[in-house]
Chain A
Amino acid sequence: MSDSPIAVEHGPELRHHFASVEQQRDAASLGMWLFLATEIMFFGGMFCAYLIYRMWYFNEFAAGSRSLNLKWGTINTIVLICSSLTVALGVRAAQMGKRKLLVILLILTIVFGLAFLGIKGIEWHEKYEHHHIPGASFDATALEKPPYSNGGIDPSHEQIYFSLYFAMTGLHALHMIIGVGIFAFLLFHAWKGRYTPQYNTPIEIGGLYWHFVDIVWIYLFPLLYLIDRKPLG
């Protein structure tokens, strides 16, 4: 349908309005980077709220942080780092045209992603059982304040910590769910052999998205879990 002679030489993946495959790939990749800039601002609003309240309500934040399950948090961090590795290897596999390897790596990524979500679910359930979910049944009495601090714990300020905890991890989990969806889509097409050394932009930009979601967690983990983990003594 295109009158451009270049388009005829290339496969059907070149859309009519681009002059060349390179231009198309550059555009897609720039688009993804810009989208990630948008995402940074999106999470940025919450990080801003987090910083302000953490400054004001440090004791409550420290106490809330202590109540999180460090074991699961750490495991989840490792799971996500592994998933980033499989994504990076997957991009390479796609570039080298190794279809089978690509499919395996994409499956692994999805498994890691689901594992992360499952563990997150366990943690949230724990919070639910401890009445740490903001709302009418919120109960902060069992929380221990930092031992070196003489300040107290104000339940309404403690709720702010858990509000932010659920808002931030919830939003991150939502991004993970979207990411798993994207990778399922990529897996389907990879399995059909659509990605070649010449054309693998979707894997590349899907990977960018996945890495971004990982990086958000790399910030969330210390900010939420490690506020005050000095050994009790």
Chain B
Amino acid sequence: MKHRIDEAGVWNNNHIIEIVNLFKVYRGGVDVKALDNINLVIEEGEFLAIVGPSGSGKSTLLNMIGLLDTPTSGKILLKGIDITQISADERARLRNRELGFVFQYHHLLPEFTALENVMMPMLIAGVKKEEARATALQFLEDVGLGDRINSRPNQLSGGQNQRVAVARALANHPSVVIGDELTGNLDTKTSDLIYDLLRKLNKKINQTFILVTHDTELAEKTDRILRIVDGKLVCEMRREGDRFVSTEVCQTAEAE
């Protein structure tokens, strides 16, 4: 299913995301380059963090990958599909099927129970209610909230709500899960719990995770850290065993 494009021959490697010469410029009195010539390849099953100071463009990059925002120029290939060239409806469909989002704030619908919130992406996809309910129940159990399925967001703690949000992000079995400061509002314990959960899924079904974070502790648990400063990818570190090794990109950038 996930490899359907292989047969067409368009996407025949495990590069789940390829970013080529990506620019995002906000026009105004002074043009602001939020993203400045980003080139990046993310492989299927990666667990990576994007770090950088506030306003560095890391969230903008994440929104581009998440099809929430459109670049000024450049290409983003998601499973070989150039998502800068497709219609709004097609982008919505890809967000629904291929991507899962968790934000700093949970953004759960306040009128709906945990179960209904997790069912929502499946209902958008047109999955039958009973089927969606069963899947949602499974995911809520996975995040340890099997006993709170009928609670509404105002009846749950911040950490619990964020776990519901994680379950919702996973609901349609997306290829890529995107987290934007997803542990930003949480205490260390809950933060660890959510990390463990994501890591488990990453290992188990080779799901790709891209996390934007301020939290160095969380970043250092991932396999690859990208540092963005002023819209430029200035540093990249890869895990080798227990430590990170800076790549050439990083040294070049620092040398400048």
Tell me if chain B binds chain A. Answer: no
Q: Which residues on A are within 8 Å of B, measured CB to CB? A: none
Q: Which residues on B are within 8 Å of A, measured CB to CB? A: none
